[in-house]
């Protein structure tokens, strides 16, 4: 089967899950279409969020097969300057603080095209990538990053340890949310880690998602939405300790945790766990009302776009992103309102967005065509994109930012 509906929490197994939000049935967010595929029916799946009162994990009800989601993937991290800078700064920090060198090993799980590991490699630190998408793993190999093309789990970790691999540093950025078997994944991280090593995990922060109505963070690849409370429960259950935590602004709000075998937690963890008890991470009441706020945001955005269209304004879209797919399909927006999409990724150009069927072009089309407005779906990279599109704006073009509130820039 290509999907299944779990009967219990992915993390702790508790069976009584409570509804938070339903976005209906939508196509897979990164399933961009070729022209030939436009004539074929698209698979859709329920997009519904629920809450586990036992371990505080917010999660989807539906699990789509990882083979279907990730074996051929169209998101290449290196197309984002923001992601490259983010990776470079973190690598420099860890090389210094962990005294990494030629005898060390850094592993990244879901290593994409080597966007992060390249900075360790340039510094003379041995690296190993683990990436299930065959096309992306090939791209990483072509830039000199050793890459195992497989899904990471306890089985793979044991196999790598058997081959002599154990890591000083393991990165797992924006991947834990994608994992159906959370316990097997985290147990695998522990297996692969040296006794004094560190695991660096980044996940979107559920509080920022709820507070800012970031409903477009919800798509079928994102099975789990974490608070530190939920992460702490998961890691502790699998023999690891979250030793330090940072809150980052990237992706609309991210948690970065540092975990290891050592049981010491610093004050950053103690403090944030206490804050989460205060704002209600463990109580469904914090998540109530999210659906109403999301519906209000949809109504406001659709009304603005329809008014602009009625005034004969031309509206393009920036970002053939997974976030964008959720927004377009939930808001039922397509060619009747929007003209086309532009995206910096050459892999996406020439394809069509799932569900809405808008053609994707290179960003240069904005200056060639000069639409009146551009709906910015990759709002999490707004600063980078607005700077890149300074000429379009100087000529009178305007951007519509839909999240966390509808704004015209």
pLDDT tens profile 295-309: 999 999 999 999 999
Residues 205 and 103 in one domain: yes
**What pLDDT score does 1 carry?**
40
**What pLDDT score does 76 carry?**
64
Query: Is residue 64, in this structure, part of any structural domain at all?
Result: no
When divided into structural domains, the chain yields a total of 3
**What pLDDT score does 2 carry?**
52
Higher local confidence (pLDDT), 262 or 373: 373
Q: What percent of the chain has pLDDT over 90?
A: 83
Kindly give, in sequence order, each residue whose CB lies less than 8 Å from that of residue 406, ignoring residues fewer than 6 positions away.
Answer: 297, 300, 301, 304, 400
Query: Is residue 355, in this structure, part of any structural domain at all?
Result: yes
What does the DSSP 8-state code read for residue 405?
A: S
Q: What is the pLDDT of residues 144-156, one digit of tens each?
A: 999 999 999 999 9
Higher local confidence (pLDDT), 249 or 99: 99
Residues 194 and 248 in one domain: yes
For residues 372 and 339, give the distance between their C-alpha atoms in angstroms, rounded to a whole number.
Answer: 11
| Single residue among 228, 247, 264 that ends a domain in this structure | 264
Residues 110 and 21 in one domain: no
Kindly give, in sequence order, each residue whose CB lies less than 8 Å from that of residue 363, ignoring residues fewer than 6 positions away.
Answer: 318, 342, 343, 344, 388, 389
Residues 83 and 227 in one domain: yes
Residues 204 and 351 in one domain: no
Tokens linked to 278: 């205060």
Q: Is the pLDDT of residue 206 over 70?
A: yes
| Single residue among 59, 87, 104 that ends a domain in this structure | 59
The residue behind tokens 């779906």 is 377
The model's confidence at residue 342, banded by pLDDT at 50, 70 and 90, is very high
Higher local confidence (pLDDT), 102 or 62: 102
Query: Is residue 300, in this structure, part of any structural domain at all?
Result: yes
Q: What is the pLDDT of residues 265-284, one digit of tens each?
A: 999 999 999 999 999 999 99
147 alpha carbon, distance to own chain's centre = 21
**Pairing relation of β-strands 17-26 and 45-52?**
antiparallel
Q: How many CB atoms lie within 10 A of CB 33?
A: 19
Q: Is the pLDDT of residue 229 over 80?
A: yes
Query: Quick check: 329 and 358 in contact, CB under 8 A?
Result: no
Residues 304 and 255 in one domain: no
Residues 294 and 398 in one domain: yes
Residues 97 and 166 in one domain: yes
**What pLDDT score does 188 carry?**
98
Residues 113 and 235 in one domain: yes
Averaged over 170-188, what is the pLDDT? 95
Query: Is residue 65, in this structure, part of any structural domain at all?
Result: no
Averaged over 55-65, what is the pLDDT? 91
Query: Is residue 274, in this structure, part of any structural domain at all?
Result: no
For residues 165 and 35, give the distance between their C-alpha atoms in angstroms, rounded to a whole number.
Answer: 44
Nearest partner of 76 among 33, 129, 113, judged by Cα: 113
For residues 217 and 209, give the distance between their C-alpha atoms in angstroms, rounded to a whole number.
Answer: 7
Residues 307 and 174 in one domain: no
Angle, CA 45 vertex, CA 42 and CA 47 arms, to 5°: 135
Averaged over 25-31, what is the pLDDT? 91
Query: Is residue 119, in this structure, part of any structural domain at all?
Result: yes
**What pLDDT score does 81 carry?**
80
Query: Is residue 399, in this structure, part of any structural domain at all?
Result: yes
Residues 210 and 302 in one domain: no
CATH value at residue 359: 3.40.50.720
**What pLDDT score does 326 carry?**
96
Q: What is the pTM of this model?
A: 0.89
Nearest partner of 328 among 35, 40, 69, 27, judged by Cα: 27
HSE (side-chain half, CA atoms, 13 Å) at 275: 11
Q: Is the pLDDT of residue 159 over 90?
A: yes
The model's confidence at residue 166, banded by pLDDT at 50, 70 and 90, is very high
Query: Is residue 272, in this structure, part of any structural domain at all?
Result: no
62 alpha carbon, distance to own chain's centre = 17
Q: How many CB atoms lie within 10 A of CB 335?
A: 11
For residues 247 and 252, give the distance between their C-alpha atoms in angstroms, rounded to a whole number.
Answer: 11
**What pLDDT score does 252 carry?**
79
Residues 157 and 233 in one domain: yes
Residue-wise DSSP of 349-367: TT-B-TTT--BEE-TTHHH
For residues 316 and 44, give the distance between their C-alpha atoms in angstroms, rounded to a whole number.
Answer: 25
- Structural domain of residue 371, as residue ranges? 290-408
**What pLDDT score does 80 carry?**
76
Residue-wise DSSP of 106-174: EEEET-TTSTTHHHHHHTT--EEEE---HHHHHHHHHTT--EE-S--SHHHHHHHHHTT--EEEEEEES
**Pairing relation of β-strands 167-173 and 106-109?**
parallel
Query: Quick check: 373 and 314 in contact, CB under 8 A?
Result: yes
**What pLDDT score does 242 carry?**
98
The model's confidence at residue 356, banded by pLDDT at 50, 70 and 90, is very high
Q: Is the pLDDT of residue 377 over 90?
A: yes
Q: Is the pLDDT of residue 404 over 60?
A: yes
CATH value at residue 91: 3.40.50.150
């Amino acid at each position: 089967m290509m999907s299944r509906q779990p009967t219990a929490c992915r993390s702790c197994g508790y069976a009584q899950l409570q509804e938070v939000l339903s976005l209906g049935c939508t196509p897979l967010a990164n399933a961009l279409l070729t022209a030939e595929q436009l004539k074929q029916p698209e698979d859709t799946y329920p997009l519904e969020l629920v809450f586990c009162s036992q371990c505080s994990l917010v999660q989807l009800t539906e699990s789509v097969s990882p083979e279907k989601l990730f074996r051929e993937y169209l998101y290449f991290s290196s197309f984002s300057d923001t992601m490259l800078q983010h990776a470079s700064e973190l690598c420099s920090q860890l090389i210094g603080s962990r005294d990494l060198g030629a005898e060390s090993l850094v592993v990244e799980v879901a290593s994409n095209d080597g966007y992060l590991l390249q900075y360790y490699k340039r510094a003379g630190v041995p690296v190993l990538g683990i990436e299930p998408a065959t096309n992306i793993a090939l791209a990483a190999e072509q830039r000199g990053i050793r890459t195992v093309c497989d899904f990471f789990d306890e089985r793979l970790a044991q196999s790598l340890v058997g081959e002599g691999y154990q890591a000083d540093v393991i990165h797992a950025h924006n991947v834990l949310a994608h994992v159906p078997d959370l316990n097997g994944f985290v147990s695998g991280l522990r297996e692969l880690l040296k006794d004094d090593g560190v695991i660096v995990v980044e996940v979107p922060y559920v509080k920022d998602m709820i507070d800012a109505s970031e409903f477009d963070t919800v798509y079928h690849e994102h099975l789990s939405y974490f608070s530190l409370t939920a992460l702490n429960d998961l890691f502790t259950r699998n023999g690891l300790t979250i030793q330090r935590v940072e809150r980052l602004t990237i992706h609309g709000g991210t948690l970065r945790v540092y975990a290891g075998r050592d049981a010491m937690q610093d004050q950053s963890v103690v403090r944030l766990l206490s804050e989460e008890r205060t704002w209600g991470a463990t109580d469904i009441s914090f998540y109530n009302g999210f659906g109403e706020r999301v519906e209000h945001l949809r109504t406001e955005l659709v009304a603005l776009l329809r008014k602009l269209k009625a005034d004969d304004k031309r509206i393009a879209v920036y970002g053939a992103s997974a976030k964008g797919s959720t927004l377009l399909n939930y808001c039922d927006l397509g060619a009747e309102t929007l003209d086309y999409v532009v995206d910096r990724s050459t892999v996406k150009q020439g394809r069509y967005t799932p569900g809405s069927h808008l053609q994707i072009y290179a960003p240069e089309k904005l200056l060639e065509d000069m639409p009146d407005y551009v709906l910015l779906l990759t709002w999490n990279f707004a600063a980078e994109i607005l700077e890149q599109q300074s000429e379009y704006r100087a000529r009178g073009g305007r951007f519509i930012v839909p999240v966390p509130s509808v704004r015209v820039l």
